[in-house]
Amino acid sequence: MERLDKIISNQTIYTRKEVKELIKKKRITVNDEIITKSDIKINEKKDIIKIDNQVINIKKYIYLMLNKPKGYVSATTDKLMPTVLDLLSKEYLHRNLFPAGRLDKDTTGLMLITDDGDFAHNMLSPKKHISKTYNVTIDIPITNEMVLGFTKGINLSDGECKSAILKKTGENTGIVTLTEGRYHQIKRMFGCYKAKVLELERIALGNFYLPSDLKQGEYREFTNEELEKVLEK
C-alpha cells in the first residue's frame, strides 16, 4: 500500500504539490470515486486511479529498448555531452531511469534503459555471462588470425579477455559476440592486430536482437517475453 500522491508522482509527470491541486479541482478518482485527500493508501494491484477520467497505468519498473545513435554518452547526466536519457520523452523523465550498461559515444545500437536495479545487476553480472553481439567494420581485412585469436582470448593491459566469437561477413566487416564488457574491449582487441574499428553497432543483448523497425534515436518498452530473451543464455 502506497500513498496516492506518491504513486501518481512516480507514474506521471505531476509533482506531489501538483497532485494536491488536481485533488482540489476534483480531477482525480479512485475506483470512480472523487478523492479529497492526497495521503490515502492505495492498493496498486486492485485500485484504479484516474486523472480527468484517464486511467493511470501503474508500472513498478520501466524497461526501454533504445537504438542509440552516435554522439550520446551512456550516462544519466553529463556536463559536456548529451546523454541517452536526453532522447526520452517527458513522460519518462520523472522516473529514476539509467542505462543498464554502456556504449561508447561513437557506438550505435541496442541499449536497455531501466529503473530496476536488480534486473540491471543480473544482466551485467559477469556470473550471468549475458552475451552481447555487435556488427563491426574495421580499416583492414579481417584475417583468420583475428578469428582464431578472438576464440582463444587476447591479453590486454588489464588482463586476458575471455573467448569471443568473431564471424567474418565481408572483407573488413564481421559480427563479434562476447560475454565481457571491458572498457573499449572490441576496439582494443582489434587494436592488437593493428586494426582500427570504424563502425560498431550492438545488435543483440542475450538472445534479444535489435528490431529492424527501430530506427536510431527511437525507443519503446520491452515486453515480458523480450526481457526473458535478454537473460537467456
Q: How remote is the C-alpha of 42 from its chain's centroid?
A: 30
171 contact partners, CB below 8 Å, separation of at least 6: 141, 142
pLDDT in tens, 37-84: 999 998 888 899 999 999 988 888 999 999 999 999 999 999 999 999
Q: Is 78 a catalytic residue?
A: no
41 contact partners, CB below 8 Å, separation of at least 6: 1, 2, 3, 4
Q: How many CB atoms lie within 10 A of CB 138?
A: 22
Nearest to 87 by CA among 97, 149, 226, 79: 97
DSSP string covering 16-83, please? Answer: HHHHHHHHHTT-EEETTEE---S--EE-TTT--EEETTEE----S--EEEEEEPTT-BSSS--SSS-B
Please, what is the angle between helix 224-231 and helix 117-124, to 10°? 40
pTM of the entire structure? 0.84
pLDDT at 73: 96
pLDDT at 123: 87
Burial class of residue 64, CB neighbours in 10 A (0-12, 13-18, 19+): buried
Flag residues of the chain having pLDDT under 70: 157-162, 233
pLDDT at 135: 98
Nearest to 99 by CA among 195, 20, 86: 86
5, 47, 104, 213: the active-site residue: 104
Nearest to 171 by CA among 199, 197, 190, 143: 143
CA distances from 124 to 10, 15, 31, 61 (A): 26, 32, 40, 17
d(CA 137, CA 142): 9
Do the Cβ atoms of 8 and 59 come closer than 8 Å?
A: no
